[in-house]
Structure 1
């Protein structure tokens, strides 16, 4: 019944939710913990005892010792290899009460305790559930260990109703082994620190005649001494611990978002330049007009303005020259309009204007030939 209750408690701890994902350990770590120690019944076999007068009794007996409550504590230092595997060295202390012995030669009561101390070398493996498509806030682990424990029985006293008394005690070291299953929960905002819950099964074997038994008989037959051999000892432990990994690397930053540069917006103003006193288009001028015509199909355009200009030099001086330049700027605008129509722009979408010598790109003195002022501006609107 006690074992079933402890198993249910362990299941509840493992199933409890956590606030953060547990992480695989890389590098050194320490682990400190403790919990409940439940020891199964042990069989003790008593050898024939020697009496106070030197004679030997041929009577041998066997009894079962029942354990009650106990506790365990441990500390370990380990190394995580970053791929889920860990290795650690562990020091252990176990304690258990003993409260019953049966059968006995006469009715009686038994009380006492035992304790164990020693160490294990453990190998463990952290199971990354993300590899199985499970996004849960826990990292389970399993492990095995082998080591050596010294098992000490404090005087275990059985008092019989006939006033006889038996005491058992002694210390014996032996090989021990354990199996481990547990889960780790990261503590939020504290890198490397985690709470773990574990179940451990520990087994231990003993040599024959490892412990001493002494009896005082109530019928006056005197003192009897002999040896006691225990069979294998099995313990079930339910542990809560605090683990700290020293070299916990922060999670990699999320990849930078891929920024797709916007497509270049076609220009909305194009400049076409002319030779002096000319309104016909050069090869380069036809290329620029073609670019403007193509751009008008890619941007929102309601109309196209074609504005012609001239520099302030003229074949005729004075007002006659200004009028000549005005007409020249209109001819230039018409040349560009005709080329736009040949490039597929509807004629109804094109408005032309001539500004003559007005609005020069480059301010100049009178009667100056300036190539940048001999132009047509194509404006997409």
Structure 2
């Protein structure tokens, strides 16, 4: 149950969302971590070397099982990332596990004792790991980098336990004291989470399985059994324990020194230049006339010349009159409307003679509307008798 619960917790942490882009390590880094250690039941065989009349070698081949309770682990390491997801690191480890129960015998002759004691292991590993770039491989842009790895190393282990039994109404106490050392290996699965605002700093969650093929395998864990009274103590036994497995669920932090620099600030927005203001030329006319004066022709020529020196997309030619009319009465406004259009056509014809394409010119007559100078009714105002040439 403890194993399933810890696996579920690690999986949920690895799946937690975060909010920025993931980091690929390039160069040196350091890391520390710690967490829960769960050691599998260890099986062993007890062997008695006493041979005295009180015991008569009846422990030869006795099955022995050590049951572990809660434990913890801690590690620290330094490593190097190659920038392509591959990393190597060296770490030191310390593991501690409580032993709360020991079982001996088998079948109908199985005896369970309550144990006080613990074991520990310490040493180092050389690990090779690979960071899985989710953005590059799967186009998943999250600040999480899963990783996998394997390691090989060397661990020292020692144990100290005291177990009380009631064997057929007789009290017995079995102690194990001793240790062993040898090759160890581990498998690693985890994920790193970028910490916002601190480039190079990551939180990590990991599951590790450590194996020790020679855990007490050479008989270095001595045993002492006391049955009934101190005079029946045996001091020459030993126990061979089998392969040891540690399951570990770890939270840590890691800092990469050569972290990628923050992205450059966005380039300032390019503000397009303000459009060039339209240029306007005014051509004035005599009362009730649409013919161009000499000065008017000079102004039209200036407008035509300007249209070739600046980027011009359209030329407006708008004709106007004052509010007096050669035809009095209700037909005066209609007359002035036609007069303003004739004035605009006169200016258009002069622009064409000055080299402006006809299809670039739009003409419009507005009559008495939009006076340049406000006046009373039926007033002859020279500035209102005009044509506006507007270059767009």
Fold match by TM threshold 0.5: yes
Q: CA deviation at 1:145?
A: 0.7
* 2:205 matches 1:197: yes
Distance 1:296 1:168 in 2: 99
* 2:289 matches 1:292: no
Q: Is the 8 A contact 1:266 1:295 kept in 2?
A: no
Counterparts in 2 of 1:19 and 1:217: CA distance versus 1, 3 Å: same
Q: Is the 8 A contact 2:348 2:363 kept in 1?
A: no
Counterpart selection for 2:177 from 169, 182, 203: 169
Q: Is the 8 A contact 1:63 1:103 kept in 2?
A: yes
Question: Match of 1:282?
Answer: none
Counterparts in 2 of 1:269 and 1:173: CA distance versus 1, 3 Å: same
Distance 1:296 1:221 in 2: 116
Distance 2:119 2:239 in 1: 15
Q: Is the 8 A contact 2:163 2:174 kept in 1?
A: yes
Q: How does 1:268-347 map to 2 (within 5 A)?
A: 268=279, 289=304, 292=307, 298-299=313-314, 301-303=316-318, 337=351, 339-340=353-354, 343-344=357-358
Question: Match of 1:245?
Answer: 256
Moved more, 48-57 or 64-73: 48-57
Question: Match of 2:160?
Answer: 154
* 2:245 matches 1:234: yes
1:279-301 CA-partner distances (Å, limit 9, x unpaired): xxxxxxx9x95773697960453
Q: Is the 8 A contact 1:178 1:201 kept in 2?
A: yes
1:72-113 CA-partner distances (Å, limit 9, x unpaired): 011111111111111111000000011111234655322211
1:283-322 CA-partner distances (Å, limit 9, x unpaired): xxx9x95773697960453459xxxxxxxxxxxxxxxxxx
Distance 2:362 2:55 in 1: 136
Q: How does 1:1-381 map to 2 (within 5 A)?
A: 1-51=1-51, 57=57, 59-104=60-105, 106=111, 108-131=113-136, 132-161=138-167, 162-206=170-214, 207-218=217-228, 221-253=232-264, 256=267, 259=270, 268=279, 289=304, 292=307, 298-299=313-314, 301-303=316-318, 337=351, 339-340=353-354, 343-344=357-358, 380=391
Distance 1:300 1:127 in 2: 64
Unaligned runs of 5+ in 2: 282-300, 320-346, 366-388
Distance 1:348 1:107 in 2: 112
Moved more, 335-344 or 144-153: 335-344
Aligned residues: 316
1:104-160 CA-partner distances (Å, limit 9, x unpaired): 465532221100000101111111111202122311111111101111112343444
Unaligned runs of 5+ in 1: 271-285, 305-332, 351-377
Counterparts in 2 of 1:187 and 1:230: CA distance versus 1, 3 Å: same
Q: Is the 8 A contact 1:52 1:223 kept in 2?
A: no
Distance 1:205 1:347 in 2: 96
Distance 2:317 2:356 in 1: 19
Counterparts in 2 of 1:294 and 1:348: CA distance versus 1, 3 Å: farther
Over the aligned positions, Cα root-mean-square deviation in angstroms equals 3.8
Distance 1:82 1:229 in 2: 46
3-state SS of 1:3 partner: helix
